[in-house]
A and B are shown apart, each in its own frame.
Chain A
């Protein structure tokens, strides 16, 4: 690199680092709903200092290796530009930009599944939930995860269950390192056959290398299985409401949208719902006399005089089953050789993916399977417009215990659907007002659950009168 260009780039990067640092300092004085953002800012500032040191060394090396120094400086610039996204994340993680009352609850849920990670919750202008993490092995930033919620749905408590899906993404790396080699071996064998058949016909296979085709098919398989595993993991934690929330989000698009490069090879929604119903909600092994977990939930509701809620649950499950019985998504997949081949492997990998996420979910303190008996209590609270945050064992249990997030979510969805279905001809404003009121009750309940947990844990640390007299 020419010396003059090198020093111009050096000045550009120095300016950018300085400006980045100033913006971080300004963000440091903003209000965030938890400590994570401040710690993230400190680590980012540490990264900027490391980059400054690296650039100082590059300048020293320029005399001996001008070409290498130029390439390294360009790389430092590229690394800085890539980090600019973090400024947006921090900007959008401020208290007024996120459902702040939910943040401590989300962080606790994440800590159960991802114990050594720290979660920064931010909003995004995209209509999508997502999670990002930094994989660079030497960087302290790798302890942070950035969870993105769609800003437009900031207060839509019904959809926020989908954060459960996101928490499974970082958990799957170990699963894939075990699952991938035999799958890639089979894909290679299939591609080799196809390559031999199609060679010389002037289509895709003449223009692509075998290794590239195998990698594309592996990528399609990986993308599909990752999303499906996360869906099943979310269902293992929250139960049927993850499909209700997914369907609400997906209903604005085509449920059969085939995997494509433009769609980042996402599996079709219909395929996703089908997998959740078949594995996470069917309870084939747990079934037996009791039936599926959904049958057990319906029975719990009926036993507590909530027959109408049980019917709504069954109707909604039927609606989703009806959607998944259509095979229009599969027709789209079968039409193209590369999708068909990759999805044959997806089908083979689904049982082990389900076992993996199920085992992870079972390590959690509570899932919907262990807390569904709370649902009738929460339905009663919601009918009385009380946030469903506490469960009391009996009348004498004045303090009660914090409710589970899955039971609150199930109760909220059933409460909402009970009101929605008979009143579907009511004015939109009325339906929306009811929906928003339930959202507020649920957000309040999520907040109360975490406050109560913290209060209870502090109470255990405070010495009682008995302790004091024993000490004496």
Chain B
């Protein structure tokens, strides 16, 4: 595996971890537990901030708040559009309304912030927020698992062709 692949893998593993930890914290918080993993929630918030900045940039072309990569935006789009893994199916490759996507990300972020500040949020918004992080964790984790897997294959002379 090349250095560049390892870095990409590291990013997938890391963000999948942040996502599943955040989703679990929110569920536990809902059942009356205090938030113990503040680091995961804080990083999830920053992920949403980066994704929203990417979305705002894609819809307006304004790059002032843009982060160094559009990956958080694209991952958020995959989850929002329901692409479980890299797929060539047309419904996952459709044109995206980046304004609507940004609104969705901002809504998830607002719910996350409200929940971590101990405010009540309506059950639909809560499920949307937790569901987003669960799907994000699943999607990125699956991609990381695929990247780490080595398949059995022959090497050398492939039959003298």
Say whether A78 contacts B90, CB under 8 Å: no
Q: Given A78-B141, A176-B68, A209-B96, A72 and B28 touching (CB < 8 A)?
A: no
Contact, CB under 8 Å: B90 / A207? yes
Interface of chain A residues 41 through 100 with chain B (CB within 8 A): 57, 61, 64-65, 67-69, 71-72, 74-75, 78-79, 81-82, 85
A185 at interface (Cβ–Cβ under 8 A)? yes
Residues of B within 8 A of A215 (CB): 69-71, 74
- Residues of B103-153 whose CB lies within 8 A of A: 134, 137-138, 141, 144-145, 148
Q: Is A132 an interface residue (CB 8 A)?
A: yes
Chain B contacts of A218 at CB under 8 A? Answer: 69-70
Is chain B's binding surface mostly helix, strand, loop or mixed? Answer: helix
| Chain A hits for B144, CB < 8 A | 78, 82
Q: For the complex, is A134 an interface residue (Cβ under 8 Å from B)?
A: yes
Number of interface residues of A (CB under 8 A): 46
**B61: contacting residue among A69, A74, A185, A208, CB under 8 A:** A185
Instruction: Please report which residues of chain A, range 200-225, place their CB below 8 angstroms from some CB of chain B when the two chains form the complex.
Output: 206-212, 214-215, 218, 223
Q: Tell me, yes or no, whether B48 is within 8 Å of chain A by CB.
A: no
Contact between B61 and A211, CB atoms less than 8 A apart: no
Q: A78-B13, A135-B10, A188-B57 are in contact. Are A71 and B134 (CB under 8 A)?
A: yes
For B93, give the chain A residue with the smallest CB separation. Answer: A207
A74 pairs with B141, CB closer than 8 A: yes
Q: Which residues of A contact B4 (CB under 8 A)?
A: 223, 264
Determine the chain B residues whose CB is within 8 A of the CB of A135 once the complex forms: 10, 14
A470 at the interface (CB under 8 A from B): no
Whether B10 pairs with A134 at a CB distance below 8 angstroms is yes
B17 touches A78 (CB 8 A): yes
Instruction: Establish whether residues A188 and B31, one from each chain, have CB atoms under 8 Å apart when the complex forms.
Output: no
> In the complex the two chains form, is B28's CB within 8 Å of A65's CB?
yes
Measured CA separation A68–B17 after assembly (Å) = 11
**B36-59 near A? 1/0 per residue, CB < 8 Å:** 100100000000000000100110
> In the bound complex, do residue B88 and residue A64 qualify as a contact, i.e. CB atoms below 8 Å apart?
no
Instruction: With a 10 A CB-CB cut-off, give which of B31, B63, B70, B77 has the most chain A CB atoms.
Output: B70
Residues of A within 8 A of B17 (CB): 75, 78-79
Contact assessment for A185 and B63 in the assembled complex, using a CB-CB cutoff below 8 Å:
yes
Which B residues touch A138, using CB under 8 A? Answer: 39
Binary flags per residue of A180-206, CB closer than 8 Å to B gives 1, else 0: 111011001100000000000000001
Query: Is A209 a contact partner of B77 (Cβ separation < 8 A)?
Result: yes
A-B contact count (CB 8 A): 127
For B134, the chain A residues whose CB sits under 8 A away are 67-68, 71
Measured CA separation A209–B137 after assembly (Å): 22
Is A233 among interface residues, defined by CB-CB distance under 8 A? no
Q: Does A136 contact B (CB under 8 A)?
A: yes
Any chain A CB within 8 A of the CB of B161?
Answer: no
Q: How many of chain B's residues have a CB under 8 angstroms from any CB in A?
A: 51
Mostly, the A contact residues are: helix
Instruction: Determine whether the beta carbon of B70 is less than 8 Å from that of A209.
Output: no
| B64: chain A residues within 8 A (beta carbon) | 181
Q: How far is the CA of A104 from the CA of B71 in the complex (A)?
A: 38
Q: A210 and B141: CB pair below 8 A? A: no
**Taking CB as reference atom, which chain A residue is nearest B101?**
A211
Interface: B35 (CB within 8 A): no
CA distance A79 to B144 in the complex (A): 10
Q: Give Cα A128–Cα B138 distance, bound, in whole angstroms.
A: 33
A294 CA to B90 CA in the complex, in Å? 56
Among A67, A72, A130, A218, the one with the most B-chain Cβ atoms within 10 Å of its Cβ is A72
Whether B63 lies near A72 (C-beta < 8 A) is: no
With A65-B24, A264-B4: A75-B137 Cβ-Cβ less than 8 Å: yes
Contact B3 A131 (CB under 8 A): yes
When the two chains form their complex, are residues A82 and B9 in contact, meaning their CB atoms are under 8 A apart?
Answer: yes
Residue A177 lies at the interface, judged by CB distance under 8 Å to chain B: yes
Decide if B2 touches A209 in the complex (CB within 8 Å). no
A-B contact pairs, 12 of them (CB 8 A): A64-B33, A65-B31, A68-B28, A75-B141, A78-B141, A79-B13, A85-B6, A180-B69, A181-B63, A185-B63, A188-B63, A208-B93
Q: Which residues of A contact B (CB under 8 A)?
A: 57, 61, 64-65, 67-69, 71-72, 74-75, 78-79, 81-82, 85, 128, 130-132, 134-136, 138, 148, 176-177, 180-182, 184-185, 188-189, 206-212, 214-215, 218, 223, 264
Extra contacts, 20 of them, besides A68-B28, A208-B93, A223-B4 (Cβ < 8 A), are A64-B33, A65-B27, A67-B27, A71-B23, A71-B141, A72-B20, A75-B137, A79-B13, A81-B148, A130-B3, A135-B14, A180-B69, A184-B57, A184-B70, A185-B66, A189-B61, A211-B74, A212-B74, A264-B4, A264-B5
Instruction: Name B residues whose Cβ lies closer than 8 Å to a Cβ of A.
Output: 2-7, 9-10, 13-14, 16-17, 20-21, 23-24, 27-28, 31, 33, 36, 39, 54, 57-58, 61-64, 66, 68-71, 73-74, 77, 88, 90, 93-96, 98, 134, 137-138, 141, 144-145, 148
